[in-house]
């Protein structure tokens, strides 16, 4: 099977208005934490991991909006 993950790195723009759901983590990146994003048996799966400006994983399992502008794809 193929697995993938999406990571969102916070920058200058405020992202909170675009982020839905997920679980607060405030965790130091580690192998077990990052592997949980790929494991379909964990709540972290099927969503993005948000990395804050300190390099910590802020939230996991976050849903992001999809574009309705298909011409932009």
Q: Are 32 and 45 in contact (CB under 8 A)?
A: no
How do beta strands 7-9 and 48-51 pair?
Answer: parallel
Chunked mean pLDDT (size 10), the chain, 73 residues: 77 84 90 85 85 90 81 66
Q: Are 53 and 38 in contact (CB under 8 A)?
A: no
pLDDT at 3: 67
pLDDT at 28: 92
The secondary element (H helix, E strand) that includes residue 30 is none
How far is 61 from 50, CA to CA, in rounded Å? Answer: 9
pLDDT at 72: 64
Q: What is the pTM of this model?
A: 0.75
């Amino acid at each position: 099977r193929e697995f993938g993950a999406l990571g969102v790195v916070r920058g200058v723009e405020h992202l909170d208005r675009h982020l839905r759901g997920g679980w607060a983590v405030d965790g130091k990146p580690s192998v077990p934490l990052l592997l949980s994003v790929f494991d379909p048996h964990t709540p972290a799966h099927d969503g993005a991991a948000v990395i804050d400006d300190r390099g910590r994983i802020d939230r996991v399992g976050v849903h992001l909006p999809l574009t309705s502008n298909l011409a932009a794809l």
